[in-house]
Amino acid sequence: MLREPHAEDGPAVSALIAASPPLDANSAYCNLLQCSDFAETCVVAESDGRLVGWISAYRPPSHPDRLFVWQVAVAAEARGQGLGGRMLDALIERPALRAVRELTTTITDANKASWALFGAFARRRGATLTRTLRFDRERHFAGAHDTEWQASIAPLAFARSN
């Protein structure tokens, strides 16, 4: 079952992220804010009462027609079955996100599963994925993190069912 999160999901969300390298672990407080203040743009997937999938996202205040996907995590035992893609589809089809025209995210070069996930999403939507530099290893991370490339997927309006 896919649904919006609530604050009580916070600990399970934090545990799933911690078990999903290479994702950065966030503070428990950060995940609680995502599960509450940003619930409208986040998704949890449950199976037999267990939280097996998570997407955090928000609409950047300067670009409310954009959805920035922060993290996607699928529990190891649930991977490769299309759950990541189904969560992205369910999110973009929410009536509250009707005005969204572009999905953006950032991905490191090495994360092949993530490129495949967002590439497949773009193809399903008949949209184009454009790759640009977002956060540079040296300039933005002081050498402590691989470069994050921004994937921008647009246009989204035409293929939407709402």
Ligand X SMILES: CC(C)(COP(=O)(O)OP(=O)(O)OC[C@H]1O[C@@H](n2cnc3c(N)ncnc32)[C@H](O)[C@@H]1OP(=O)(O)O)[C@@H](O)C(=O)NCCC(=O)NCCS
Interacting residues toward ligand X by CB under 6 A:
20, 22-23, 71-74, 79-85, 111-114, 116-117, 120
In the complex, minimum distance from the CB of residue 76 to ligand X, in angstroms, rounded to a whole number? 8
Specify the residue, 124 or 140, whose C-beta has the smaller distance to ligand X. 124
Q: How far is the CB of 98 from ligand X (least distance, A)?
A: 24
Q: Which C-beta is closer to ligand X: that of 19 or that of 99?
A: 19
**Closest residue to ligand X, based on beta-carbon distance:** 84
The residue (of 98 and 149) whose beta carbon lies closer to ligand X is 149
**In this complex, which beta carbon is closest to ligand X, that of residue 47 or of residue 98?**
47
DSSP codes joined into one string, the chain: -EE---GGGHHHHHHHHHTSTTSPPPPHHHHHHHHHTTGGG-EEEEETTEEEEEEEEE--TT-TTEEEEEEEEE-GGGTTSSHHHHHHHHHHT-GGGTT--EEEEEEETT-HHHHHHHHHHHHHHT-EEEEEEEE-TTTTTTTSSPPEEEEEEE--STT---
Min CB(71)–ligand X separation in Å: 5
Question: C-beta of 54: minimal distance to ligand X in Å?
Answer: 9
